[in-house]
Structures are given as C-alpha cells and as structure tokens.
C-alpha cells in the first residue's frame, strides 16, 4: 500500500483511482478495536427522545422500578427539562472531544413522535438517536447498521443515513444487516419476568425475551479486539444474529460468544469493556464464565469499582454500571465520568489519563460514553491480540 501505510486487505476497498489523478488512500471509516487513537466519532443526540411503549421487549429490558413510568409515559417524549440538561451535557462532551483532537459528527435531528405501522407491527413513537453504539459498528473500513430488536428502534437508522451516505461516497463500505420483521414471533410473550430470581434462572437456561425466529442484534452486544470479536446472547441479540455476523465477517475474524452471571444481559460494554490490547474492565456483579480463556490469552482483567450514582437519579434504561462504559481516546487516555471518583482512581492506578465530563442526565437515556458514541475512525490496522 506504499509509504508504510496501514491499509489492510479490507481497507483497500476504500482506494479510489480517478484517471489523471495520483491515487490517494481514502479511509473515511477505519476502526478495528476499542482503543487505537481516535480520529472521528459519532456522538448521539438526546433531541426529541421518546419513551417507548411498554411492550414485552421493553419490560424485559428495564428495571421494574420504572415500569409505572413506562406505563404512564410510553408513547410520549421523555421529560423536557431532563432532556435539556442531557443536551447541555452532551454538547460539553462534544467540545471536550474536539479539544482532545477528535472530529465529532452528529446524527440528523428527527421527529421521533410520529407513529408508524409496518405489515408486521405498529409503534406509537420511535425511540431516539442517542446511542449510535447500539445501531452502528465498524469493522475496518466497513460501517454496519445493526438489525436491532426493539420495535421503537425500527426506523432509527434514518437519523444516520446522511452520515452513512457521506462515508460511502468517500469510499467506505456500507452494510445494513437484514432487518427483523418484528412480528409477534420474534418475542416470547410468555417470558416470565416478575422477579430478579426469574431473570437469573431464565438467563442461566439461555432463555430470553427475543426468540430465534429471525436474526437480530444490537451492535453494543459486540466488542472488538482486532481479529477477535466478543459477543453475548442477550435480550436483544439472538444466536441467529451472532451467526449472521460471524458468516458476514468470514475467516479473517473469530467471533467468540461469552456468557456472564447477569439476570438481564443487554449490551456488553457495561459488563466486559475491552480498553486496551489485552486489558479489560470487568463488572464484578456479572462475572464472565469464560475467564479461563482470557487467562490463557494472558489478558489482564481489572474489576471495576462499585458505581456511586445515587439511587434517586433516574436511570430509565440501564443499571448504574454505566460508570465502566467508558470511551478510550487512545491506549493512554479515557473519556469517563467526572462524578465517578472510584473509577477515576482505578484509571490513575493503571496509568491511564482521565478526560472527565459529567453526563449524569444523559445517562438516564441508557448509556455512558461508549454507548453515546460510535468510533468511525481510529488510527490502526487489523491485528490479533491473542
């Protein structure tokens, strides 16, 4: 590829030759892991976020403490004042990222209050474009739209189409995994979730609210370490979805399925967050059943300290473990919460510089820094770390 360039077989797709011009490597999209130096990132938007209808899949993915909130407000916007605060926090986060030398891109503003009907289901609102990590994932020069499982997220891709077209025109490979129809067959309407014990038992049995009727996955259930991709079967990612991605990626990649002691798995990045080559922050409440494999790899697993967020602060769509849902700017710098002092200390001990922002109100929509972003371009090449 010339002059020590890091273009790999996959990223060479991005080279365009125009007659009469010297060919320039054009790599608008390039990311292989969670820690190479970050050059460009998509940051989500709280604007217009709506409370989803209280359907089976929403019930299975949310804390029972908020079920009355969903019953009352499902199909209407999240509280205005809260969203305003979240917007200010996310703007500040974008400024901090720019200050750290990262190009920040945003999805389009969309009116999520419109109801919609497909031949298979209807929904009173769309959810939001707050969490690009759930819908977009990058493998080399390929950016992929994930086939997410919530009905309120069916049309979420519309917020990203301007960006995706731009990346495509600049040479990226753009893929949309087959969208699930989301008819009743995708959900187990008899899924019994009245208690935490139920959830533990069902997760242990490998039973989740989504069935295996058709492939579905949220991109945030995958975490990348070069040629090795780790994934969990969760409430929103099924085995067919995992297999679809495995076959799509082909023999250049190894897709490893992990399991955790977790009563309600949804998104791996507040459970097992790979923050460096062979370095993982692990959630002590959700131990990984495959730790021996990582010991064999010689990886270092660091237990995250307990989060400190008060019980009064609403987290409508997540646990408090968003404290470990951090975004690496490179191997030595991490974007993390200003208010989570124990994890700041943990990073200091690891010799990682913290870049701190407070996104407590933005957290209420279900994500930390990793969820609120999709890294579009990191300086690096496809490697194996095991």
Question: Which class for 130: exposed (0-12), middle (13-18), buried (19 or more C-beta within 10 A)?
Answer: buried
Output helix, strand, coil percentages for the chain, rounded to the nearest 5: 30, 25, 45
Site string for ligand ABU, 211-230 (x = CB under 6 A): ---------x----------
- Whether 239 is a known active-site residue: answer no
- Measured from the CB atom, is 279 or 365 closer to ligand ABU? 365
- Angle value at C-alpha 276, between 362 and 303, nearest 5 degrees: 70
Does 208 bind ligand ABU (CB under 6 A)? Our answer is no
DSSP 311: T
- The DSSP line for 269-288 is GGTEEEEETTEEEE-TTS-B
Among the listed ranges 31-39, 162-170, 313-321, 344-352, the one in contact with ligand ABU (CB under 6 A) is: 313-321
Catalytic residue, from 32, 267, 361, 370: name it: 267
Does 318 bind ligand ABU (CB under 6 A)? Our answer is yes
Spatial separation of the C-alpha atoms in residues 308 and 42, rounded to whole Å: 27
CA distances from 173 to 29, 140, 148, 196, 221 (A): 8, 9, 20, 42, 21
- The least CB distance from residue 71 to ligand ABU, in Å, is 21
Does 367 bind ligand ABU (CB under 6 A)? Our answer is yes
- The least CB distance from residue 264 to ligand ABU, in Å, is 8
- Measured from the CB atom, is 8 or 375 closer to ligand ABU? 375
Site string for ligand ABU, 259-288 (x = CB under 6 A): --------x--x------------------
- Whether 267 is a known active-site residue: answer yes
- Measured from the CB atom, is 9 or 196 closer to ligand ABU? 196
Does 148 bind ligand ABU (CB under 6 A)? Our answer is no
Among the listed ranges 2-10, 54-62, 107-115, 318-326, the one in contact with ligand ABU (CB under 6 A) is: 318-326
**Coil, helix or strand at residue 40:** strand
Spatial separation of the C-alpha atoms in residues 111 and 158, rounded to whole Å: 11
Work out whether the CA dihedral 156, 157, 162, 167 comes out positive or negative: positive
Which position among 46, 126, 215, 366 is part of the footprint of ligand ABU (CB under 6 A)? 366
CA distances from 348 to 120, 329, 342, 351, 355 (A): 51, 15, 10, 5, 11
Which position among 56, 129, 234, 319 is part of the footprint of ligand ABU (CB under 6 A)? 319
Q: Are strands 333-337 and 228-232 parallel, antiparallel or unpaired?
A: unpaired
- Measured from the CB atom, is 307 or 380 closer to ligand ABU? 307
- The DSSP line for 136-158 is EEEEBTEEEE-----GGGTTGGG
- The least CB distance from residue 275 to ligand ABU, in Å, is 16
Which position among 149, 339, 371, 376 is part of the footprint of ligand ABU (CB under 6 A)? 371
Catalytic residue, from 188, 218, 228, 330: name it: 218
Spatial separation of the C-alpha atoms in residues 343 and 337, rounded to whole Å: 8
Total residues found in the chain within this entry? 386
- The least CB distance from residue 363 to ligand ABU, in Å, is 10
User: Partners of 50 in the beta sheet?
Assistant: 77
**C-beta separation of 354 from 344 below 8 A:** yes
- Whether 336 is a known active-site residue: answer no
- The least CB distance from residue 287 to ligand ABU, in Å, is 14
Which position among 139, 321, 347, 372 is part of the footprint of ligand ABU (CB under 6 A)? 321
Does 199 bind ligand ABU (CB under 6 A)? Our answer is no
**Site for ligand ABU, rule CB under 6 A:** 220, 267, 270, 318-319, 321, 366-367, 371
**Residues forming the active site:** 218, 267, 371
């Amino acid at each position: 590829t010339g002059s020590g360039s890091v273009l790999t077989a996959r990223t060479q797709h991005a080279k365009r030759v125009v007659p009469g011009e010297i060919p320039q490597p054009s790599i608008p999209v390039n990311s292989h892991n969670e820690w190479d130096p970050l050059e460009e990132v998509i940051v989500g938007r709280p604007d217009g976020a709506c409370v989803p209808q209280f359907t089976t899949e929403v019930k299975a993915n949310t804390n029972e403490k908020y079920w009355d909130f969903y019953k009352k407000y499902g199909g209407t916007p999240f509280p205005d004042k809260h969203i305003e605060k979240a917007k200010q926090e996310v703007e500040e986060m974008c400024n901090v990222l720019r200050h750290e030398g990262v190009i920040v891109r945003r999805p389009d503003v969309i009116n999520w209050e419109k109801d919609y009907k497909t031949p298979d289901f209807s929904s009173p609102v769309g959810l939001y474009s707050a969490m690009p990590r759930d819908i977009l994932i990058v493998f080399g020069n390929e950016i992929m739209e994930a086939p997410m499982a919530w009905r309120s997220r069916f049309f979420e891709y519309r917020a990203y189409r301007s960006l995706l077209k731009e990346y495509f025109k600049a040479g990226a490979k753009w893929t949309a995994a087959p969208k699930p129809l989301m008819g009743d067959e995708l959900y187990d309407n008899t899924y019994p979730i009245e208690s935490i014990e139920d959830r533990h038992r069902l997760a242990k049995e490998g039973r989740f609210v989504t069935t295996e009727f058709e492939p579905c996955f949220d991109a945030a259930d995958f975490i990348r370490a070069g040629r090795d991709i780790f994934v969990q079967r969760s409430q929103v990612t099924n085995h067919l979805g995992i297999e679809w991605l495995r076959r799509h990626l082909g023999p250049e990649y190894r897709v490893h399925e992990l399991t955790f002691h977790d009563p309600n798995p949804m998104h791996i990045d507040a459970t097992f967050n790979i923050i460096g080559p062979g370095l993982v922050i692990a959630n002590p409440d959700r131990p990984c059943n495959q730790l021996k494999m990582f010991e064999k790899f010689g990886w270092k697993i660091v237990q995250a300290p307990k989060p400190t967020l008060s019980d009064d602060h609403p987290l409508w769509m997540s646990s408090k473990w968003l404290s470990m849902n951090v975004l690496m700017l490179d191997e030595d710098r991490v974007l993390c919460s200003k208010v989570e002092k124990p994890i700041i200390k943990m990073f200091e001990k690891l010799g990682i510089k913290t870049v701190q922002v407070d996104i407590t109100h933005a957290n209420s929509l279900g994500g930390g820094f990793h969820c609120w972003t999709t890294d579009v371009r990191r300086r690096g090449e496809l490697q194996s770390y095991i």
